[in-house]
Amino acid sequence: MNFSLKGRTYVVMGVANKRSIAWGIARSLHAAGARLVFTYASERFEKSVRELADTLEDDTSLFYECDVTDDDAVTKTFEDIKNDVGTIHGLAHCIAFAKKEDLQGEFVDTSRDGYLLAHNISAYSLVSVARAAAPLMTEGGGIVTLTYLGGERVVKNYNVMGVAKASLDATMKYLANDLGKDAIRVNAISAGPIRTLSAKGVGEFSTILKKIEADAPLRRTVTQEEVGDTAYYLLSDLSRGVTGEIIHVDSGYNILG
Ligand code: NDP
Ligand code: KAL
């Protein structure tokens, strides 16, 4: 069995900057020999994604704008990718968003608007992206999404995003069941807290990191590289018997009572 990704193409959605988990995934896939296709929400991040990709050795990456709240944009992005590269072998979905005011205080105060926005971008987007990407995975493939413990348990301040992650986790499993007959596997990585742009400005983030360092079985936080290598595992044939699974890359924190 050959676990190199040479000759394979993977779409990576959600690189904002060098701290993004998506960038950790991109580097692991690239190190394994994959060709990369990047998508970003708006022009605002295009330059930074292109500059990062430029740092990859022998870079042959492609770039597309794709706001996942827009069904036509999602459809067009994957049509363009099909025209430009043909077959793809997998996809990393590293996208989430909620309004700042819904990530503090009490969950009971979440507005209908805020609830729908968080679910639209953070959970439904996996459905629309999987539907658009599946026809390009003519040799089978893998889809990986990023989730967090706050979807399984109540975590202070995570609020509406926790409910959206619970929806994302179930979405991942239903997609795994639908797409399995086409040899497409769908899995999630539940990452421990990592300081990224999304985490910036989040109250008490440093306290959360300190708690992981004190209590997690490995007594340390995890890195983008560690999540990236697990994504490589899930997107390669190493995990060929695994689908509908949530792998925690969190120093073991989730096993604590
Ligand atoms: P980043 O801020 O680096 O990435 C978040 C990404 O979401 C951005 O690239 C942003 O795109 C994208 N995004 C937001 N709205 C849209 C949209 N409408 N269309 C397309 N893309 C959109 O943060 P992370 O790397 O931390 O987040 C990646 C994933 O990891 C998220 O699902 C997050 O919930 C999850 N996660 C993060 C953890 C952490 O501690 N950091 C822990 C567990 C899970 P753009 O930049 O182009 O706006
Ligand atoms: C318990 C934790 C800390 C509490 C809070 C909330 C974290 C929510 C994640 C969510 C994705 C953050 C946002 O949507 C931020 C957004 O309102 C403002 N930021 C932006 O618009 C930037 C510029 C762009 C790039 O961000 C996005 N997302 O588009 C959770 C911690 C311990 C773990 C984390 C951070 C989990 C997670 O899901 O990210």
Is residue 124 part of the annotated active site? The answer reads: no
SS3 140: strand
Radius of gyration of the chain (CA): 17
Taking residues 116-139, what's their average pLDDT? 98
Instruction: Decide if pLDDT at 85 tops 80.
Output: yes
So what's the pLDDT on residue 202?
74
The letter for the amino acid at 252 is G
Please name the residue whose Cα sits nearest to atom 24 of ligand 2: 198
Q: What is the DSSP string of 38-75?
A: EEESSGGGHHHHHHHHHTSTT---EEEE--TT-HHHHH
Class of domain 9-249 (CATH, top level):
alpha beta
Q: Which ligand is nearest to the CA of 192?
A: 1
pLDDT tens for 11-45 read: 999 999 999 999 999 999 999 999 999 999 998 88
Instruction: Decide if pLDDT at 1 tops 70.
Output: no
So what's the pLDDT on residue 2?
67
φ, ψ of residue 93 in degrees (nearest 5)? -100, 110
Instruction: Decide if pLDDT at 213 tops 80.
Output: yes
Q: Which ligand is nearest to the CA of 228?
A: 1
pLDDT tens for 2-17 read: 689 999 999 999 999 9
Question: Dihedral of CA 38/43/45/50: which sign?
Answer: positive
The one catalytic residue in 64, 158, 233, 253 is: 158
Q: Does ligand 1 have an atom closer than 6 angstroms to the CB of 69?
A: yes
User: Across the chain, how many H-helices and E-strands are there?
Assistant: 8, 7
Please name the residue whose Cα sits nearest to atom 10 of ligand 2: 97
How do the domains of the chain map onto residue ranges?
9-249
The one catalytic residue in 148, 232, 233, 253 is: 148
Q: How far is the centre of ligand 1, averaged over its atoms, from the C-alpha of 145 (Å)?
A: 11
Is residue 148 part of the annotated active site? The answer reads: yes
